[in-house]
A and B are shown apart, each in its own frame.
Chain A
Amino acid sequence: MPEMTKQRPGMMRLVDALQYRLPLAGVVSILHRASGLMMFVLLPLIIWFFDVSLTSEITYERFTSAFESGIGFVPGVLVKVLVLGLMWAFLHHFIAGVRHLWMDATHSVSKEFGRQSAVVTLALSVVLTLVLGAKLFGL
């Protein structure tokens, strides 16, 4: 073991890691983490929506008006942008997760499958976000 430890090149720093071109499957992987982190951070906002939309008809009005008149000091446009971000995060995390489950279940671990399914994951999550986003922003 000590001989092996000596040969190790030391800690890889972020600047070193950025020297490598990330394959598309790697892009999906890091975005899977980023989207999960994003939903974790914004979890109280999601539960606030759950709360006001369900508690009563009066609070339901607060839920629907949040997208126009905002929440407290947060303007309505920013609420829409946050929800758009959450939509993308959910869709990407969901599709990338199904991709993982599919790979585990069918042992689809070839390089081609990894690349192709990564393209599908990235494209599908962005397209669905744009479609739902257009509805959200009333385009």
Chain B
Amino acid sequence: MSVDFGSRRVVVGAHYGLRDWLSQRVTATLMALYTALLLAQLLFGGPLGYDRWAGIFSAQWMKVFTFVILLSLGWHAWVGMRDIWMDYVKPAALRLVLQVFTIVWLIGCMGWAIQVLWRL
């Protein structure tokens, strides 16, 4: 059996790249659909003030959809930012710090947005 660990480990294949490629496109498509839906609600329905703006997000189905979109955004941004760090930051220690920072930043932002959404 050939050696496939240590410096010879296989880092490509096994659908490793396919998963990121596909999740990036699935989350992007969901966010694009959400954008169109939100835009349609904003453009049609009379003058926009606090009541109508808050009304859009207080519908339960819109809360659920927005929640899914927030998670999609977090995942999408994680894959994208990790690509940037992997391409431009070579020192492993600095890259790890930046990747951890990215996760903390994104989870923090998602938590804040979900709180705003669900106390409405």
Determine whether A94 belongs to the interface, using a CB cutoff of 8 Å to chain B.
yes
* CB-nearest residue of chain A to B116: A51
B: contact size bracket: 20 to 34
For the residues of A in contact with B, the DSSP-based class is: helix
Report yes or no: B35 in contact with A94, Cβ–Cβ below 8 A. yes
Q: Given that A44-B109, A54-B53, A54-B116 are contacting pairs, would A37 and B84 also be in contact in the complex, using a CB cutoff of 8 Å? A: yes
A47 touches B81 (CB 8 A): no
Task: Decide if the interface of chain B is mainly helix, strand, loop or mixed.
Answer: helix
CA gap between A130 and B4 in the complex, in Å = 54
Chain A interface, number of residues (Cβ within 8 angstroms): 21
Q: Does A55 contact B (CB under 8 A)?
A: yes
A sample of 16 cross-chain residue pairs with beta-carbon separation below 8 angstroms, ordered by A number, consists of: A36-B80, A40-B77, A40-B81, A40-B105, A40-B106, A44-B112, A51-B116, A53-B50, A54-B116, A54-B117, A60-B50, A60-B53, A97-B28, A98-B32, A100-B25, A100-B28
